[in-house]
């Protein structure tokens, strides 16, 4: 039975290596739900689990020409998913560590008004930097980070691929980090905290 499943996967992977969208869709339908259940068991959030699944299959498509057809495709998928989940936890841990540092600063006598003023200044600068972006990139970023839209929802709204949405957000983040580093270096940590809270 396992050999039969592997043979079917191998045939689909060979087609996928050639850019066959139908093969990609069949693999997504076959394994997407399994990956979702796996991801949600760790993340406890359906929206985050959906993003993990999308991320996994975007990597599959991007690396399709290098996929191995003689090994377990399911194991390959779950390895990517597991690594993505770990990265998600690491990002959250970094932000939580910063939050704890802020609380420690306040407990040690730092003026909370200064903290609030700095936080508000970061938000003002963020709005300014976002306004400087190209229109499409700005809209995609705002819908993702401020409105909490999923990658799929944004892709459907603008009739573009999920990969394009991901690229726009990545470029937006690079731009914002560069602008903060140039104009307001002390705001980088506040910037990370702000994005996590949205």
Give me the helices (H) in the chain, please.
2-17, 21-43, 46-62, 73-107, 112-131, 135-141, 151-158, 162-183, 188-197
Instruction: Tell me the CATH number at 193.
Output: 1.10.10.10
pLDDT score at 47: 83
Q: Are residues 83 and 117 in the same domain?
A: no
Q: Are residues 77 and 117 in the same domain?
A: no
Q: Taking residues 43-70, what's their average pLDDT?
A: 88
Q: Are residues 57 and 132 in the same domain?
A: no
Q: For the chain, what is the domain count?
A: 2
Q: Identify the domain containing residue 31 by its residue range.
A: 2-87
Answer yes or no: is 96 within a domain.
no
pLDDT score at 137: 94
pLDDT score at 24: 92
Q: Are residues 123 and 185 in the same domain?
A: yes
Q: Are residues 154 and 189 in the same domain?
A: yes
Task: State yes or no: pLDDT of 13 exceeds 90.
Answer: yes
pLDDT score at 96: 61
pTM above 0.85, yes or no: no
Instruction: Considering only residues 159 and 103, tell me which one the structure prediction assigns the higher pLDDT.
Output: 159
* Percent of the chain whose pLDDT exceeds 70: 75
């Amino acid at each position: 039975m396992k050999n039969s499943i592997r043979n079917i996967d191998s045939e689909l992977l060979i087609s996928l290596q050639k850019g066959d969208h139908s093969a990609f869709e069949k693999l997504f339908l076959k394994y997407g739900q399994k990956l979702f259940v796996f991801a949600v068991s760790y993340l406890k959030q359906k929206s985050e689990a959906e993003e993990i699944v999308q991320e996994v299959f975007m990597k599959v498509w991007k690396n399709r020409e290098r996929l191995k057809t003689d090994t377990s495709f399911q194991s390959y998928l779950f390895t990517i998913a597991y690594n993505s989940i770990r990265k998600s936890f690491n990002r959250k841990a970094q932000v939580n560590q910063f939050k704890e540092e802020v609380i420690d600063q306040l407990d040690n006598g730092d003026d909370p008004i200064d903290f609030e003023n700095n936080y508000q200044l970061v938000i003002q600068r963020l709005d300014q930097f976002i306004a400087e972006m190209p229109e499409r990139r700005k809209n995609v970023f705002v819908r993702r980070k401020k409105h909490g839209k999923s990658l799929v929802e944004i892709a459907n709204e603008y009739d573009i691929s999920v990969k394009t949405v991901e690229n726009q957000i990545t470029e937006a983040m690079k731009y914002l980090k560069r602008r903060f580093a140039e104009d307001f270096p002390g705001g980088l940590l506040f910037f990370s905290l702000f994005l996590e809270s949205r």
